[in-house]
């Protein structure tokens, strides 16, 4: 893996089926203001000066509110890609929506990143999500449900 000249792909995908608002199983509860790794891939790079790592990721967030049907919620998630513990990309997204049945879900769709500076050897890429409570309103729980992190390694 990573020692051939053609592109190769490494992926960590979790599909959550059933109740995404509960607990346990493959759900990851996002503690307030606590960075949480929700997916990880390791790739081996033989020639870092001639290699790009293309990262694609997504997360489905399940949000439980404190209000009833039709209540409005505001929440913010810091969505980061790390390489070997260092942040290489970041999006801080605040979302507002009306809950149906006191809960709702949203997807943070594909967040593509190209790492032009991988190091030689093993590189660990993490998808890290942080529930930022700075402007949060009427939110009881946020779970990371289905999620995916894919690394495509290309030798130039």
Q: How confident is the model at residue 6, as a pLDDT?
A: 65
- What are the start-end ranges of the E strands in 84-120? 86-98, 103-108, 113-115
Q: How confident is the model at residue 2, as a pLDDT?
A: 46
Find tokens 């592109």 and name the residue: 7
pLDDT (tens, 9 = 90+) of the chain, 156 residues, equals 444 556 789 999 999 987 887 777 899 999 999 999 999 999 999 999 999 999 999 999 988 888 777 778 889 999 999 999 999 999 998 888 887 777 778 887 788 999 999 999 999 999 999 999 988 888 989 999 999 999 999 988
Q: Name, in order, each residue with C-beta under 8 angstroms of 131's C-beta and a sequence gap of 6 or more.
A: 30, 31, 32, 33, 34, 75, 76, 77, 142
Q: Give the HSE-up count for residue 106: Cα atoms under 13 Å, Cβ half-sphere.
A: 16
Q: What structural domains does the chain harbor?
A: 8-18+29-155 (2.60.120)
Give the global pTM: 0.89
């Amino acid at each position: 893996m990573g020692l051939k000249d053609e592109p190769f792909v490494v992926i960590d995908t979790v599909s959550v089926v059933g109740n995404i608002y509960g607990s346990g199983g493959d759900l990851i509860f996002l503690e307030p203001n606590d960075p949480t790794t929700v997916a990880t891939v390791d790739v081996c790079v033989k020639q870092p000066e001639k290699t790009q790592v293309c990262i694609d990721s997504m997360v489905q967030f399940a949000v439980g509110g404190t209000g009833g049907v039709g209540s409005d919620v505001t929440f913010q998630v810091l969505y980061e890609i790390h390489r070997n513990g260092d942040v290489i990309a970041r999006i801080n997204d605040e979302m507002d929506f009306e809950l149906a049945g006191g809960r709702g879900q949203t997807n943070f769709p594909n967040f593509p990143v190209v790492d032009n500076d991988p190091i030689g050897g093993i590189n660990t890429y993490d998808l890290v999500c942080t529930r930022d409570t700075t402007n949060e309103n009427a939110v009881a729980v946020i779970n990371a449900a289905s999620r995916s992190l894919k690394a495509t390694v290309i030798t130039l």
